[in-house]
Structure 1
Amino acid sequence: MATLPPEPVGFIGCGRMGLAIAGVLSKAGIPVFLGSRDGGGKARECAKQLAGPTPRGGSYAEVAGACTVLYICLANPGRSDPVCEFLDNHRAALMGKGKILIDPSNPWGYAHWPPPSPHKSALTYHAEYLGDPTAEWATAYKSIMWTSVANYKLQPTEICGTSRARAVLSELIRAHGFEPVDCGDLHDAPVVEINGPLRKKHPRITEYDRTGK
């Protein structure tokens, strides 16, 4: 694929959404590298269950160091922000490396842990929190259940982010049969936050909700 780096696509977290996306990408022929917080034990076990070109498992540190594209799929327990914890713990592997960070965090949807003011989206907050001008950020899957991804309930998904990250994320979304709907740059991310204060559903999503296609 033209825009994808040669390394595997990394996944930080082995929760349901992360495994669903990793599974469909691996089945589409895209190498994936799963990371788990237990040092890689769970990730290696999960990787054995995936079809595709030699999926791997390892620790967060191994995945962060090896992969340019990273899906940060960390469930939010409502007590702290696990994405910020990951960024803090792995800054040396991330800073200045030109990473493409895909952040499907849903702070107003399921987590109920909104980012601090003045941010109206998880994406802008996490990008500012890392503070790395070489990093690219994008988001998608905000309104989609993990079961829809895993079961190939093909549908459009809104995306926002910086230009290169959007291009890479669009390619990955198309690879597993979904339709990327471009909703703009990083600063436009508040419009895709489910239940967020600036949420504005894209007309393509409204059409899908009405027609199912």
Structure 2
Amino acid sequence: MKIGIVGTGNMGKVIGLTLARQGHSVFFGARDLRKVAGFAADYGVNVQCGSNQAAADYGDVIYYNPRDVAPNEVLTDINALSGKPVICSHNGTVPQDFQFDAITCSKAEILQRQIPSAHVVTAFNTITQETFELAEQGLDALNVCCFVASDTPEAKNRVSQLIGQIGFTPVDCGDLRQSRLIESAADLIRMLMYKAQTPWKAFSLIDLPEVQQVFSGRIQSALHDHKLDHQS
């Protein structure tokens, strides 16, 4: 698959190089080619670099790195994104006191409004760039969850396949509105990392075995009787 990285930063770099190792063709875009030419030349295989517009034109799937910058400020022709999955891992800035405000509109929802003909997919928000270093060391055995949300099931499935190839466990959270929860989860994991003074933390979900009720009088959770629509 062809992957276009628009605005190569730290996260775009590790995602792109990890996917290149999986055999995908990756095009790194940047305003300043000096930022990408060096590592692209060093890596060589399956890697190209050029302008952000060239990256948007090239990719079947796009990773959009510039946070709080509309695509029409980065690209000369945003129609290059039409019909394509556009991965957004944007989170809010960390307050100095870690007193996060409630998220009433996610970064991903804002991006989707800016590129209505594209298919924005929230992913990688709760995963640090350091975690990608484990991709060559049995990452899949660690069951590191990557929460995914999108209004377009097909786009969400394509991105989930890439996530699984890297070694993460994709977790379908539903439509793009659920990005608010994912970005809130990113706030939580960043607070936990700060407290522990380490980036080596991640979310992992497990399915617990069902058992007979032990504690008499316990009222069964309403979730057992309510089917969540994951729009998958």
Question: TM-score band (shorter)?
Answer: 0.7 to 0.9
Q: 1:141 aligns with which of 115, 118, 124?
A: 124
Identity of paired residues, percent? Answer: 25
5 Å-filtered alignment, 1:3-152, equals: 6=1, 8-38=2-32, 40-50=33-43, 52=45, 54-74=46-66, 76=67, 81-82=68-69, 84=70, 86-90=71-75, 92-94=77-79, 97-109=82-94, 119-130=104-115, 132=116, 134-152=117-135
Q: 1:26-77: per-residue Cα shift (whole Å, max 9, x none)?
A: 0011111001111x3322222123364x310011111112223110123x5x
1:157 is aligned with what amino acid?
A: C
CA gap 1:64/1:191 in 2 versus in 1, 3 angstroms: same
Give the 3-state SS of the residue equivalent to 2:110 in structure 1: helix
Residue in 1 that maps onto 2:220? none
Instruction: Give the length in aligned residue pairs.
Output: 181
Paired with 1:16 and 1:62, the residues of 2 have a C-alpha distance of: 19
Partner SS state of residue 39, structure 2: helix
Kindly indicate whether the alpha-carbon contact (under 8 Å) linking 2:14 and 2:129 is maintained by their aligned counterparts in 1: yes
* Amino acid across the alignment from 2:127: I
Would the alpha carbon gap of residues 195 and 187 (structure 1) be closer, same or farther in structure 2, given more than 3 Å must change?
Answer: closer
CA distance in 2, matches of 1:35, 1:101: 14
Amino acid at match of 1:161: S
One-letter identity of the residue aligned with 1:60 = N
- The 8 Å contact of residues 145 and 169 in structure 2, kept in 1 or not, is answered as yes
Structure 1 distance, partners of 2:81, 2:8, is: 26
1:194 paired with 2:214, answer no
Partner in structure 1 of residue 149 of structure 2? 160
| Gaps in structure 2 of 5+ consecutive residues | 97-101, 188-201, 207-232
Would the alpha carbon gap of residues 66 and 106 (structure 1) be closer, same or farther in structure 2, given more than 3 Å must change?
A: same
Q: State the structure with more CA Rg.
A: 2
TM-score by length of 1: 0.73
SS class of match (2:27): strand
Task: Give the aligned CA root-mean-square deviation in angstroms.
Answer: 3.0
The residue type equivalent to 2:37 in the other structure is R
Amino acid at match of 1:145: T
Give the aligned residue type for 1:90.
Answer: L
Check the 8 A contact 1:109/1:194 in 2, yes or no. Answer: no
| Offset, 1:96 | 7.3
Matches of 2:55 and 2:25, distance apart in 1: 12
- Residue 179 (structure 1) shift: 0.9
Gaps of 5+ in 1: 1-5, 112-116, 198-203, 209-213
How far apart are the structure 2 equivalents of 1:142 and 1:109? 13
